[in-house]
A and B are shown apart, each in its own frame.
Chain A
């Protein structure tokens, strides 16, 4: 059994999905968290100066979604069927692209009010709302996003919805099936336990 060490900030960010996946798969991993004051020194140790990095024995793997997909395979959260696996990949990439849009734009504003305004006036109507509409339709007929079982796409979705609703609690108001899906994922025993026991962090 290889030794897994996940290196990230002491935060949820783009590593939390990976932690959920390992936990759900019952896979032992070292959850190394770098405090912000130590980051300048540690940054140069990372292959591209970025985290998360997954050390597999002594070999590094970068890119949060490549790591998540790898972990998901080990955890049995990737469908056997190639097209179903591809549907998981597509959802994960769609969510990621949408969040990149959010991050890239929100960081242009210093003011919290301006960030909120960007979210409400631009991001929500143009990006998040259309996405949630499609998703809500799909999840009104299905318990899990791709197959009749939990996959890593469900975890990615729920994790992201949790992240967004922390800052914008009302955005799932009109999307009850998406909200129900998020709750369903959070009730999965391994995920529930992880959420309850994981440290409070700034992001």
Chain B
């Protein structure tokens, strides 16, 4: 599709003024379910970057109707004008570049990719576990007794050690690695604080990210969803 012109407001901190300019931007539409899941990191990145997008949330029935038009048949999908981009981390990285929170340096960028893959795997396996144990209390018990020590604690431990002497996951400013940490651990901490509270540096970093104005606002105003 042809690129559209959008009227965008730019805030100039130095002069405390706002100017409105016409820019050529693609239209972004995130298609996912009404859940946080694998789509939420993308929403955080859009929010942090102040990038306008449509946050489309489909019911199962709505998805089943359009599924055959979705390449690969899975959500989330990012529509970039009329092009479909699947896969939550591919989308997240793409939007993070637009939001200018991907490091220039290839190695630093790779460190974040590795973090993203590790945490994605952890959440993926956690969601799979939830699907196999419908009873919530039984699920929580299984997480606490088996999944947490095996799959969550080692990552949390490594992150806790890393964040001990650092302001940011990599480099000297916020990157999408920090947003990933916030997203991956915020819900877990809210629901079961005693599991994570010994990882003090990780928890305080997660809280720091959640307190950032754009993220805080998103968390406060986003649609309610359990997962």
User: Which residues does chain B contribute within 8 Å of A122, judged by CB atoms?
Assistant: none
In contact, A62 and B87 (Cβ under 8 angstroms): no
CA distance A140 to B111 in the complex (A): 36
Do residues B113 and A63 form an inter-chain contact, with CB atoms below 8 A? Answer: yes
* A89/B89 contact (C-beta < 8 A), A66-B110, A134-B71, A134-B72 known: yes
Is B94 touching A67 in the complex (CB atoms < 8 A)?
Answer: no
Q: Mark A49-81, 1 if CB is under 8 A from B, else 0.
A: 000000010010111011101100110000000
How distant is the Cα of A130 from the Cα of B70 in the complex, in angstroms? 12
Question: A47-B158, A66-B117, A134-B71 are contacts. A89–B90 as well, Cβ < 8 Å?
Answer: yes
Q: How far is the CB of B21 from chain A (nearest CB, A)?
A: 22
- Report whether A90 and B90 are in contact in the complex, using a CB–CB cutoff of 8 Å: yes
Contact of A86 with B by CB under 8 A: yes
Query: In angstroms, how far is the closest chain A Cβ from the Cβ of B178?
Result: 17
Q: Of the candidates A73, A86, A93, which one forms a contact with B106 in the assembled complex, judged by CB atoms under 8 Å apart?
A: A73
Q: Is the interface of B mostly helix, strand, loop or mixed?
A: helix
* Given A65-B117, A70-B107, A86 contacting B94 (CB threshold 8 A): yes
Asked if A90 and B86 make an inter-chain contact with CB atoms under 8 angstroms apart, the answer reads yes
**C-alpha gap A61/B154 in the complex (Å):** 16
Interface string of A80-92 (1 = CB under 8 A from B): 0011011101100
Q: Is A107 an interface residue (CB 8 A)?
A: no
Query: Looking across the interface, which residue of chain B has its beta carbon closest to that of A67?
Result: B110
Nearest Cβ distance between residue A149 and chain B, in whole angstroms? Answer: 19
B85 at interface by CB-CB < 8 Å: yes
* A134 to B85 CA separation, bound complex (whole angstroms): 14
Residue of A nearest to B97 (CB): A82
A108 close to B (CB within 8 Å): no
Cβ–Cβ contact B118 & A63, under 8 A: yes
Please determine whether B154 and A94 come into contact, CB atoms closer than 8 angstroms.
no
Once bound together, how far apart are the Cα atoms of A69 and B116, in whole Å? Answer: 13
- B114 — which chain A residues lie within 8 A by C-beta? 61-63, 66-67
Report B153 CB to chain A, min CB distance, Å.
12
The answer to whether B73 and A130 touch across the interface, beta carbons within 8 angstroms, is yes
| A62-B111 Cα distance, complex, nearest whole Å | 8
Chain A residues within an 8 Å CB radius of B110: 61, 66-67, 69-70
Query: In the complex, what residues of B have CB within 8 A of residue A134's CB?
Result: 71-72
Q: Is A48 an interface residue (CB 8 A)?
A: yes
B125: nearest chain-A partner, CB-CB: A104
CB-CB under 8 A for A69 and B113, given A56-B107, A93-B90: yes
Q: Which of A48, A65, A73 contacts B154 (CB 8 A)?
A: A48
B91 at the interface (CB under 8 A from A): yes
Are A94 and B72 neighbours in the complex by a CB distance under 8 Å? yes
The residue in chain B whose Cβ has the minimal distance to the Cβ of A88 is: B90
Query: Does residue B126 face the partner (Cβ distance < 8 Å to A)?
Result: no
Q: Does B20 contact A (CB under 8 A)?
A: no
Q: List 10 A-B contacts (CB under 8 A).
A: A56-B107, A63-B114, A63-B118, A65-B113, A66-B111, A66-B117, A70-B109, A73-B106, A82-B94, A94-B87
**What residues make up the interface of A, taking CB atoms closer than 8 Å to B?**
47-48, 56, 59, 61-63, 65-67, 69-70, 73-74, 82-83, 85-87, 89-90, 93-94, 130-131, 134
9 new A-B contacts, CB < 8 A, other than A61-B110, A86-B93, A90-B85, are A63-B117, A63-B118, A66-B114, A83-B85, A83-B94, A86-B85, A86-B91, A90-B91, A134-B72
